[in-house]
Structure 1
Amino acid sequence: MRRQQMVPVALLVAAVGLLGLGVVGPPTADGGIRITPGVPILLVAAGVSWWWRGSTGAVLGLVAVAVVTVASLGAGLGPDLIGDRGLPVAVARWVQVVGLAAATYALVQWLVARRSPVGTAGERPRRDRSKVLQVTGLLVLCGIGAELLAAYGDSTGNVGGIAFALVFFGALYGAPALLARELVRRLGWGWPSLLLIFAALGVAEAGLIDQSLFSADYGGYAGWEENREPTLIPSLGFSGYNAYSFIIGHVIFSFAAPVALAEAWVPNRARKPWLGPIGTALAAVAYVIAALFILTDPESRSGSPAQLLATAGVIVVLLLLAVVLGRRAQTASHRAAAGEVPLWALFVTALVFALVPDMTPATWLGVAIATTTTAVFGVLILLAARTRVWTVRHAATIGAAYLVERGLLAFTYFPLIGDVAPGPKYAHNVVMLLVVALAGWLALRGRAATAPPAERAALPTV
């Protein structure tokens, strides 16, 4: 099917999903069929896109998709997708979502394709499928590192729940990780700037999106109050222990470790951009939809206006610091590197530094130990990167060590919510740990330990 023909067809699919939702959903007051407003919007947009075959028609179709998508988010999209209103409604909702996603892809691709270079024979350059696999792998690994590897939720061992979680958490964590990495690599910045952006994303997740940082009992998880109360700061409304656990946890497990591993899968692309205009647009849309999905949950409304405003201020400061460090990295001079840090020694050291914070109690002493341990290891990494040969494999080794530590620790406890049998629980742990081991093996295999000179010169800024 030609790209231009995909646009109206995808819009029609989305309209059919909405129509099905109206037919099987609640009837009108007089018992008639309820037709959602999105149906005529999408039908008109499909007709316009079919008739007005050009950029203008595609833009109008994209606007229609955006309007209907935003309107759908506040209409119980989440509960409908998981079947809270029955199978027919769930099917209609999934048809709608697939149609909207396909329409968005087709429309953006149509707009970009008109401006893309063509080959000498009039054919467009082929897409690098290995890059697609690399991006997809990162999305999956972010979802695993952020949520599934720790195995604390009631989806543990549930194949259907895990499948949904991989898609959803890939959008919630993998998409912003991709966008942050894309920005930093295009600007030629280093890991310090990237980590600060990841910290801003972590603060946004815990303080603005799910607002778990300010919750007294988020989601009914066992032990929430016991971990929160000893280091609660009443004037600020959050716990010091939770602040460290949530924000640093997101920085390391949701973003940095998966990115470090994914970059090492193809070392010659580690410092290069991965996304084009279509990928960037889809990542941004996926992140916004996933974030709004969480925001529409009443459980995620714990923060007061003052807390939310202060959180936004912290995010701005972190982003400004990322800009300052990024600009310095572009003009900094670097010393000649000495010998290479052995990967096995780095892995063992990282494993120990990852384990210490998880072994500390939920007290102010525990927070101090965890913070100090993390800060010391960060300084050691920076010194090693500035004075030794440092490649993408070294960064990947650290990321692998942290993910392995989290996966091993998950064997020592049962999920904090729900009733999960031992068999599925341990099977889940084993599978997730094997995925992490595979990701680590792909990153560290072979003898490509030495970075190219240009890359090596940039790496001390990591």
Structure 2
Amino acid sequence: MVPVALLVAAVGLLGLGVVGPPTADGGIRITPGLPILLVAAGVSWWWRGSAGAVLGVVAVAVVTVASIGAGLGSDLVGDRGLPVAVARWVQVVGLAAATYALVRRLVAGRSPVGTAGERPRRDRSKVLQVTGLLVLCGIGAELLAAYGDSTGDPGGIAFALVFFGALYGAPALLARDLVRRLGWGWPSLLLIFAALGTAQAGLIDQSLFSVDYGGYEGWEENREPTLIPAVGLSGYNAYSFIVGHVIFSFAAPVALAEAWVPARARKPWLGPVGITFAAIAYAVAAVLIVTDPESRSGSKAQLLAMAGLVGALVILAVIVGRRHQEDHAGPGKPGVSIWLVLGVAFVLALIPDLMPATWLGVIGAATATATVGVLLLLAAQTRAWTIRHTAAVGAAFLLERGLLAFTYFPLIGDVAVGPKYAHNVSMLLVVALAGWLALRGRTAMAPPAERTALPAG
């Protein structure tokens, strides 16, 4: 599979030379990546050991980085025309397939085997769980709010699911797996999510410092009342972007996804191949955003400050995680109604969206969010709290965002009424299905094995 995948990527680069701009003398432009991929295909076919796989990974990495620098992101979305976009997508598919096959080759000798030398049967439900989380992160982060010009556009939505799955779902998976492998709890995971949200808004798209990001309607009106000139950012935007990413891009989707299969809630989901793919997907998506001229709003001082804050949040997550102890919950009590938790969380989730873009509004919104956090920490100390209760909180926030999206039109672009509301209904149905899968059960109390939803540490 490796040589074939590398050849597919090479065909994409060759096609790019055919349909792209010619050389100065009118000939086909051959990029250096083409011979690199051809040589790598030959080496991987002849040298099937780990060393050959390592060389193949290096070749893929070099070509990927070079392609990003040559405008891969803009080519993929069709800025240079459909033929160039098709060639680039062929290249990307080939590179992705080659990466998968190469990593599998590297780890093949370390996988456990069953009786008679057979490998254990792969658990397909885990693949569905991971895929569902990737999709839900993309929906929660961007599509559910329905504020962009891709609202109601099937092609735009399909692309957004893939791209935002990489930008938000991949780091959510990596952070979750890290925390679960180390035996840490939700507090540490939320701190890592805060680091990721800060990195997204302050380092990657740099919307935190933008005066008019993407031309969205109402940007200046929301930014100016709480603008802090000395640091060049808005308190309202800082709360909305960073806390919004923590909740909608990461925490709420993870809470639901873990409750789909409670027995795996405290276990890592990714192996070496999955970790590699998630890391590459996140890196590529982040680089594509960073290289967009729209995402260059921060000064060097602002970017350094954001990098320091991200580092501090990660260090704090490590400190909290290392102090983690098993939850010493008291004796069992009658179960708290999941629907009561859902209702209370929904009301508290609604409050920030009703607040004005002023300092008083920021204080009110932060107070409501902090109340949710405190209640979660207190509830987690009792045996009445289960993984489904945590999922109910996540579902409440996502449902609130989806329902609120019915009350306004996209902030950019001209979207017709029919596609707009069809989009709202579709996204809300996905969230409702995800919530039902997480909360289903005959009683509100989960089995004792599931009582690890929110450890104290």
**What TM-score does the superposition give when structure 1 sets the normalisation length?**
0.97
Find the aligned partners of 2:174 and 2:228 in 1 and give their Cα distance: 33
Find the aligned partners of 1:331 and 1:381 in 2 and give their Cα distance: 16
Letter in 2 for 1:217: D
Please provide the CA RMSD for this pair: 1.3
Letter in 2 for 1:358: D
2:142 maps to which of 143, 147, 170: 147
Find the aligned partners of 1:388 and 1:360 in 2 and give their Cα distance: 35
Find the aligned partners of 2:6 and 2:62 in 1 and give their Cα distance: 13
Instruction: Give every structure 1 segment of 4 or more consecutive aligned residues whose post-TM-superposition deviation is greater than 2 Å.
Output: 330-340, 447-460
Q: Per-residue deviation at 1:114?
A: 1.8
Other-structure match for 1:173: 168
Q: Any stretches of 5+ residues in structure 2 without a counterpart?
A: none
8 Å Cα contact 1:257/1:399 also seen in 2: yes
How does 1:319-358 map onto structure 2 within 5 Å? 319-330=314-325, 333-358=328-353
Matched, 1:317 2:312: yes
Other-structure match for 1:36: 31
Deviations 1:176-213 (A, max 9, x none): 00000000111111110000000000000000000000
Other-structure match for 2:129: 134
Letter in 1 for 2:248: F
Deviations 1:285-317 (A, max 9, x none): 000000001011000000011100100111111
Find the aligned partners of 1:296 and 1:47 in 2 and give their Cα distance: 33
Q: Per-residue deviation at 1:393?
A: 0.3
Letter in 1 for 2:432: A
8 Å Cα contact 1:334/1:460 also seen in 2: no
8 Å Cα contact 2:330/2:383 also seen in 1: no
Percentage identity across paired residues of the two chains: 81
Find the aligned partners of 1:433 and 1:310 in 2 and give their Cα distance: 37
8 Å Cα contact 1:146/1:250 also seen in 2: yes
Deviations 1:228-254 (A, max 9, x none): 000000001100000000000000000
SS of residue paired to 2:451: helix
Other-structure match for 2:51: 56
Matched, 1:399 2:405: no
Deviations 1:252-301 (A, max 9, x none): 00000000000011111111111111001100000000000101100000
Q: 1:458 to 1:83 in 2, by over 3 A?
A: closer
Letter in 2 for 1:415: P
Q: 1:214 to 1:337 in 2, by over 3 A?
A: farther
Other-structure match for 2:375: 380
Letter in 1 for 2:403: L
Other-structure match for 1:366: 361
1:47 maps to which of 38, 42, 51: 42
1:242 maps to which of 237, 242, 247: 237
Matched, 1:420 2:449: no
8 Å Cα contact 1:179/1:283 also seen in 2: yes
Other-structure match for 1:98: 93
SS of residue paired to 1:430: helix
Deviations 1:81-126 (A, max 9, x none): 1222222111110100000000000000111112212222222112
Letter in 1 for 2:161: L
Q: 1:175 to 1:458 in 2, by over 3 A?
A: closer
Find the aligned partners of 1:320 and 1:212 in 2 and give their Cα distance: 24
Find the aligned partners of 1:338 and 1:329 in 2 and give their Cα distance: 24
Find the aligned partners of 1:334 and 1:342 in 2 and give their Cα distance: 18
Of 316-325 and 326-335, more deviation after overlay is shown by 326-335
Other-structure match for 2:225: 230
Other-structure match for 1:435: 430
Q: 1:272 to 1:450 in 2, by over 3 A?
A: farther
8 Å Cα contact 2:263/2:449 also seen in 1: no
Q: Per-residue deviation at 1:391?
A: 1.1
Deviations 1:14-42 (A, max 9, x none): 11101110111111111111101100000
Q: Per-residue deviation at 1:448?
A: 6.7
8 Å Cα contact 2:385/2:453 also seen in 1: no
Other-structure match for 2:209: 214
Q: 1:448 to 1:281 in 2, by over 3 A?
A: farther
8 Å Cα contact 1:390/1:460 also seen in 2: no
Q: Per-residue deviation at 1:335?
A: 3.8
SS of residue paired to 2:11: helix
SS of residue paired to 1:72: helix
8 Å Cα contact 1:185/1:271 also seen in 2: yes
Find the aligned partners of 2:182 and 2:34 in 1 and give their Cα distance: 42
Find the aligned partners of 2:446 and 2:395 in 1 and give their Cα distance: 19
Q: Per-residue deviation at 1:457?
A: 6.1
SS of residue paired to 1:330: coil
Other-structure match for 1:3: none
Other-structure match for 1:300: 295
Other-structure match for 1:282: 277
Q: 1:374 to 1:135 in 2, by over 3 A?
A: same
8 Å Cα contact 1:334/1:457 also seen in 2: no
Q: Per-residue deviation at 1:340?
A: 2.2
SS of residue paired to 1:461: coil
